[in-house]
A = this chain, B = another copy of it.
Amino acid sequence: MFKGLSAFPLTPLKEERIDEHAFIALINRSLEAKVDSIGVLGSTGSYMYLSREERRRVIELSVREARDTPVMASISELRLRDVLALAEDAQQAGVRAVLLAPVSYQPLREEEVFSLYEEVSRHVSVPICVYDNPRTTRFTFSDELHGRIAALPHVQSIKIPGVSDDYIEAKERISRLRSVVPGKFALGISGDDCAATGLNAGCDVWYSVLGGLFPRICLELTRHAQAGRADEAVRVSAQLAPIWSLFNRYGSMRTAAAIAIRQGWMSAPGLPLPLAPVPASDMEQIADCLDALA
């Protein structure tokens, strides 16, 4: 499942409960566009803010809707005990892969992170994607640690944070990572503004926030890059620059929420309080861009 476009939808909330109707509609937007996979309960999907029951429900709904399209779900939690319980839930509900970030309250040490992945890799039977997101986990992987974890059973992908927008630097970064992971291993780009460069530089998959909202244009970008049309992929990404600018200012989750609200796909505020979507006043700067997409 670790190739092409993986769409990471929001988990819409309404009065602090999961808005199942809105969630299913979002999932189906991506499925109709024929994304390669769905990544529920990513950072954009509010996984850390949901209870175990809520997380199980989100997975059940998405697996049911997705049919043959593979579904990945995050099993990250602060405590190993809870990660193992979530892994069990996710597998029982039919995920084809699990996404695991070293989330922290007490900033984690390298050996603690390794022990987390080692323990989880002993307990699961589906592929594990390592979620490398220093912004939310406050943990920075060394390449050496990536190599040790990638050698563990079941570990088959890394969701990497944004790369340089300079193609040569991005290429060097991906090559360096390739040199520490096994031969058949999927590197996936996140940070949507870096997707074109990341794919052009050799990433196998785009773990995409915008793919959970506007899957068609994200697929267009992805297919260009996969076919070696690097310039075309960059051209598509450039059309979305106003959106990337809001992503960088407010974070992609707050921006995605404001887009979904503006498009009528979710009720405001839609996010788990105290998180708040981008204020409507700042959405004006992407109005033309959104109208062109819709």
Contact = CB atoms under 8 A, between A and B. Distances in A.
Interface of A: 16, 43, 48-49, 78-81, 103, 105-109, 111-113, 115-116, 119, 135-136, 138, 250-251, 253-254, 272-276
A247 B253 CA distance: 35
A274 B49 contact: no
A111 B43 contact: no
A136 B106 contact: yes
Given A107-B135, A107-B136, A112 B274 contact: yes
A198 to B, nearest CB: 22
Contacts of A81: 16, 272-273
Given A43-B105, A106-B253, A107-B136, A78 B112 contact: no
Contact of A275 (B112, B119, B275): B112
Copies in the complex: 2
A276 B49 contact: no
A103 B106 CA distance: 11
Nearest to A80: B273
A80 B16 CA distance: 10
A48 B105 contact: yes
Contact of A103 (B105, B254, B272, B273): B105
A116 B275 CA distance: 9
Contacts of A135: 107
A174 B81 CA distance: 41
B79 A272 contact: yes
Given A48-B78, A49-B78, A81-B16, A106 B273 contact: no
Given A16-B81, A81-B16, A138-B138, A105 B49 contact: yes
Contact of A274 (B116, B250, B272): B116
A224 to B, nearest CB: 31
Contacts of A276: 109, 111-112, 115
29 contacts: A16-B81, A43-B105, A48-B78, A48-B105, A49-B78, A49-B79, A79-B272, A79-B273, A80-B272, A80-B274, A81-B272, A81-B273, A103-B105, A105-B136, A106-B136, A106-B254, A107-B136, A107-B251, A108-B275, A109-B276, A111-B276, A112-B274, A112-B275, A112-B276, A115-B274, A116-B273, A119-B273, A119-B274, A138-B138
A78 B112 CA distance: 22
Contact of A115 (B48, B107, B136, B273): B273
A251 B112 CA distance: 14
A136 B274 CA distance: 18
Nearest to A117: B274
The interface centre, meaning the residue of A136, A253, A272, A275 with most chain B CB atoms within 10 A of its CB, is A275
A188 to B, nearest CB: 20
A57 to B, nearest CB: 16
A262 B103 CA distance: 28
